[in-house]
Copies of this chain bind each other. A is one copy, B any other.
Amino acid sequence: MTIETSNLHIRHFSKHEHLARVGDPQRVVYKIQEGWACRYSIVPDGRRQITAVYLPGDFCEPQWLLAGKAQLPIIAITPMTVTEIPLENIYAQPGKAVQDLLGAMLKAFNRQTDWIVSLGRKSAKARVQEFLLELHRRLHASDAVSVHRCTIPLTQQDMADVLGLTAVHVNRVLKDLRKSGAISLRGKTLSLGHNERVQTEPATSGAPHMLIRPAREPMLA
């Protein structure tokens, strides 16, 4: 992307290893090269809610630039390869890197807004469908992905924790979607049906983005 790629530390995380824990001071943000991760919260009764999913190409997490610490834990869903982007450098000489990170933060913000709408006002079936289509779209944007096929390394429990459902119900909904031909997730392979490839546009993060105001951006000089 646009963040300078010289002198970057490469780092690996194994499956289920934490990239950050609650309250950890963060001196870097990660740019994900390979693998998936998620941010989550555990509620008092022990259940988990995933509040963000990080894919290759994503920053994890842009808001560390502002907060300087992790408000919620981040865990690797698969083995990961990331590059470390030191925040000190960015503080010292703000430039395009700041714009990239703030742009990514705005995207994450809009994605959260869309997710609130889904959780509050959409059925389980619509949420599953929308989530899988979003994953496909995001993978397609950064990476080379077939138009109607991609790999989703999430368990049904992971998806349930994103979708605010139980794993059992996710399973039933996936069966329904498979039967109705819209979307098929068999094993880790997601296949999109012919007609259902275009639909369920999100309210905010789906628009072709103009992230930073064209004239006189504040963060550049």
Residues of chain A at the chain B interface (Cβ within 8 Å): 39, 41, 43, 47-49, 51-52, 63, 65-69, 71-72, 87-88, 90-92, 94, 98, 102-103, 105-106, 108-110, 112-113, 115-117, 119-122, 161, 163-164, 203-204, 207, 210-219
Across-interface contacts of A87 in B (CB, < 8 A): 213
A65 to B161, CA, bound (A): 32
Max chain B C-beta neighbours (<10 A), residue from A117, A207, A214: A117
What are 18 A-B pairs at a CB distance below 8 A?
A: A43-B121, A49-B116, A49-B120, A66-B103, A66-B211, A67-B106, A67-B210, A67-B213, A68-B212, A71-B110, A71-B204, A72-B113, A88-B216, A91-B215, A98-B218, A112-B113, A115-B116, A119-B164
* Smallest CB separation, A98 vs chain B (Å): 6
* Smallest CB separation, A56 vs chain B (Å): 22
Across-interface contacts of A112 in B (CB, < 8 A): 109, 112-113, 116
Contact B68 A218 (CB under 8 A): no
**A94: nearest residue on chain B (CB-CB)?**
B218
A203 to B110, CA, bound (A): 20
Contact B122 A119 (CB under 8 A): no
A161 to B207, CA, bound (A): 24
